[in-house]
């Protein structure tokens, strides 16, 4: 498609935006989208979408299957749209097929906050990435993830594993001094939508918050902002670490043996970002030596967490099955974010949460 064709296509969608609903979207939330942006034409066939088992279950029941005729209808619906609400079947290969089959497609909104990794997995070419804008649902998960992060930091400070062991053993031990979050320094990796909420909640408890960013930023509640390449340098002063970073080549195993060895002994680790930011072998070693005193993990290098993983049985680890972000309002919040971005697209404004197609976050 030539530059002139791109311009004509852009002009075509300034008055109306034909959106194929590629992921489950309730009638209530469809009505909400239409109310917020009347210029959207939602194209949806509920019979072609899998039933959700819980809120934000956009992949749906894995036992559900389309017939060949239904699959043909689903793909025809996707190929008729200017924009997609969701990655088809949360499947990168289905996204690639749709981008290549639908020359009019201009925008895809992903349900995940870390949707950039799904876009990367689609293996799209430079021209395709230039033609189609991709956005994520970053921000809608901020509050629930921040609460889990706060819970993890508090659990580490209050010796939750020891309390659990003693309760199971019916052991009334001698008293001991618990740590106070208000006296701790907490390192928050990433100061995006989630990290900023985490920082605010920790600051409200009186913690000193150190954040990481590759940019020179000022964030309320954050005492100091350091570059990610200074992690080992600041680690000795850190009592707890909260990771909110996405999974990219730059963040892969950022928390490695060098980092854990440099931490203040007994530090707490909470991961609500992506699992591959943490070197799990190095983490296990740090847990065994007591360098890390407690880890609250909602995400893992491999998901589901393999049954053979030592993390399952480790006394100092809390395993959460990637559920900390889920809340009853998530579907509605994503629908509202999508409608806001549709308005921006139709009005010629920049999109919120646009995926960086170089680093894919």
Positions annotated as catalytic residues are 274, 303, 322
SS (H, E, C) 226-289: ECHHHHHHHHHHCCEEEECCCCCCCCCCCECHHHHHHCCCCEEEEECCCHHHECHHHHHHHHHH
337: Cβ contacts below 8 Å, ≥ 6 apart: 109, 137, 139, 140, 352, 353
Determine the Cα–Cα distance for residues 106 and 129; give it in Å rounded to an integer.
10
Determine the Cα–Cα distance for residues 317 and 312; give it in Å rounded to an integer.
8
Nearest to 260 by CA among 237, 292, 297: 292
**Contact indicator for 283, 292 with CB cutoff of 8 Å:** yes
97: Cβ contacts below 8 Å, ≥ 6 apart: 75, 88
**Contact indicator for 297, 311 with CB cutoff of 8 Å:** yes
């Amino acid at each position: 498609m030539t530059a002139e064709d791109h311009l004509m296509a852009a002009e075509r969608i300034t008055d109306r935006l034909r959106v194929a609903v590629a992921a489950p979207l309730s009638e209530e939330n469809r009505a909400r989208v239409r109310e917020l942006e009347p210029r959207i034409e939602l194209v949806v066939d509920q019979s072609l979408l899998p039933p959700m088992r819980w809120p934000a279950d956009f992949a749906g029941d894995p036992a559900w299957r389309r017939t060949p005729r239904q699959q043909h209808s689903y793909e025809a619906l996707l190929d008729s749209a200017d924009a997609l609400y969701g990655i088809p079947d949360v499947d990168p290969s289905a996204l690639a097929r749709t981008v290549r089959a639908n020359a009019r497609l201009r925008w895809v909104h992903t349900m995940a906050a870390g949707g950039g990794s799904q876009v990367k997995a689609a293996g799209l070419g430079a021209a395709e990435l230039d033609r189609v804008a991709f956005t994520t649902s970053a921000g809608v998960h901020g509050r629930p993830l921040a609460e889990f992060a706060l819970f993890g930091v508090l659990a580490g400070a209050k010796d939750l594993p020891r309390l659990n062991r003693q309760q199971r053993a019916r052991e009334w031990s001698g008293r001991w001094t618990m740590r106070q979050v208000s006296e701790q320094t907490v390192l928050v990796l990433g100061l995006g939508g989630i990290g900023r909420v985490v920082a605010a909640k920790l600051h409200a408890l009186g913690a000193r918050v150190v954040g990481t960013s590759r940019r020179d930023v000022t964030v309320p509640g954050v005492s100091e902002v350091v570059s990610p390449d200074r992690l080992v340098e600041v680690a000795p002063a850190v009592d707890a670490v909260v990771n909110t970073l996405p999974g990219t080549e730059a963040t892969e195993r950022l928390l490695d043996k060098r980092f854990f060895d440099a931490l203040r002994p007994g530090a707490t680790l909470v991961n609500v970002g992506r699992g591959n930011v943490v070197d799990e072998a190095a983490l296990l070693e740090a847990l065994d030596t007591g360098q890390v005193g407690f880890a609250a993990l909602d995400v893992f290098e491999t998901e589901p967490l393999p049954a053979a993983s030592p993390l399952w049985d480790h006394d100092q680890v809390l395993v959460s099955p990637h559920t900390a972000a889920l809340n009853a309002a998530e579907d509605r919040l994503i629908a509202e974010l999508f409608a806001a971005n549709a308005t921006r697209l139709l009005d010629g404004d920049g999109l919120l949460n646009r995926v960086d197609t170089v680093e894919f976050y």
